[in-house]
Amino acid sequence: MWLDDAGFDIGQHVRTHAIAPPGDEASLLDTCVELNEPPLDRSRSLRELWFLTGLASGDMGMLLRLHHVAADGMAAVALLGSMFDFAPDAPSPVAARWVPAPAPSSWALLTDNLRRHAAALGAIGSRLGHPAQALRRVRSSAAQIGDLLRDGLAPRSSLNRTVGTHRRVLLARADLERARQVARAHGAKVNDVVLAAVAGGARDLLDSRGELAPGLRLRAMVPVSMRASSETDATGNMVGVMVAPLPIGDADPVRRLEEIALATAERRRRPSWRPGGRCAQRGVVRVMAHQRLVNLFTSNVPGPAAPLYMAGSRILEVFQIGVIQGNVTLAVGVLSYAGQLNFDLVGDADACPDLDVFAQGLTRALLELGVAGVRRRLPAPG
């Protein structure tokens, strides 16, 4: 629940940090990894904004840290729209004087908690009182479990090792309109093109490790938004899970894309899996270190189509930094912004030291599919 902080200090949430020389993209990413490592302070609102100085290009870096409990990908994109402007000369908003609300009493908190439990019990009773609705929910849950059982276990791979505490991050870029054209030409979605590129990266990575075999299919966990079309600005986390195959044993990038498109089209017709309830979600977290359902994580979030501005300066690029946990050592986060498809590759620094091989394979797969790359916006010094 949200409470006003009577002792709010903007300095606890908005800070600056200097990037170490030479101030190139690698230095920027190393700084983001360093700042993103400590857990957010749960005694305050779970968000931080860092302004990163010292880039050799003269640009400014920004790192927004936001706890997943406060916003999923769609809600985070909506938050960007409220923080930034859509024109360089947009007038500054007039801020109303903020007066913190008094802290609620223990009795008020207890009453609110009881009201929430009563509402939850009422919702359960309402569902139980409608047999058809309850039957649909049971069938949906059974279908989700059936999908997981039918797919079987993910293949054993060096991608599944215990995740440590250190991360490494790399970036890749592609042209969004070309990705759309390629998707339409093959009866696919942009997300299928993303997964085909991820498959190309994983193919090169496992080939370099001596693990590539004909017919090998990895499995990627793909978040699916559970929001209604009217809930695009809602806060909170409303995400389900789809497991998609990555046919890395096939050397043909077009065949990989078409197989992925067929598989995801079938899965989109069925309800996405979403562990419900606090106990189920905690159980999933506890078994992540030993899970055998997926080999890697992916996430593709549609971002702003038009350029954003802050204090008159254009936001050049926006990336999402993905999360790895349990025994999944590699994640790919994709965020579209102003005609660009931005890939963020996160690997465990110890279990996945060859992240460059994956990045090169992903980029080559995009080029082989006809998705043009985008020149880096942060040139090296000199």
> Are 200 and 300 found together in one domain?
yes
CA gap 136, 132 in Å, rounded:
6
> Are 317 and 176 found together in one domain?
yes
Strands in the chain per DSSP E = 14-18, 47-53, 61-66, 167-175, 218-225, 239-246, 296-301, 309-310, 313-314, 330-337, 340-348
Query: Residue 194: inside a domain, yes or no?
Result: yes
Query: Residue 382: inside a domain, yes or no?
Result: no
**Per-residue tens of pLDDT for the chain, all 382 residues:** 667 777 788 898 999 999 999 999 999 999 999 999 999 888 888 889 999 999 999 999 999 998 877 766 677 777 777 789 999 999 887 878 877 777 777 787 788 778 877 776 776 666 556 666 656 655 655 665 666 667 789 999 999 999 999 999 999 999 999 999 999 999 999 999 999 999 999 999 999 999 999 999 999 999 876 655 555 555 566 667 889 999 999 999 999 999 999 999 998 887 666 655 555 566 667 778 889 999 999 999 999 999 999 989 999 999 999 889 999 999 999 999 999 999 999 999 999 999 999 999 999 999 999 997 776 554 444 4
> Are 60 and 198 found together in one domain?
no
Pick from 24, 39, 67: which residue ends a domain? 67
> Are 54 and 165 found together in one domain?
no
Pick from 67, 95, 115: which residue ends a domain? 67
Q: What Rg, from alpha-carbon coordinates, does the chain have? A: 22
Query: Residue 45: inside a domain, yes or no?
Result: yes
> Are 241 and 364 found together in one domain?
yes
> Are 166 and 49 found together in one domain?
no
- Which pLDDT value is given to residue 47? 87
Query: Residue 88: inside a domain, yes or no?
Result: no
Query: Residue 52: inside a domain, yes or no?
Result: yes
> Are 333 and 193 found together in one domain?
yes
- Which pLDDT value is given to residue 120? 66
Tally the domains of the chain: 2
Query: Residue 36: inside a domain, yes or no?
Result: yes
> Are 294 and 165 found together in one domain?
yes
> Are 263 and 167 found together in one domain?
yes
CA atoms within 13 A on the CB side of 374: 22
Give the pTM. Answer: 0.84
Residue span of the structural domain in which 185 resides: 153-369
| CA distance to 85, 216, 218, 294, 361, per residue, from 156 (Å) | 47, 10, 9, 10, 21
- Which pLDDT value is given to residue 134? 59
> Are 22 and 170 found together in one domain?
no
* CATH, residue 203: 3.30.559.30
**Bridge partner residues of 62 (DSSP):** 51
- Which pLDDT value is given to residue 380? 44
- Which pLDDT value is given to residue 149? 67
Query: Residue 106: inside a domain, yes or no?
Result: no
Query: Residue 186: inside a domain, yes or no?
Result: yes
- Which pLDDT value is given to residue 115? 82
Pick from 67, 85, 109: which residue ends a domain? 67
> Are 169 and 290 found together in one domain?
yes
> Are 63 and 172 found together in one domain?
no
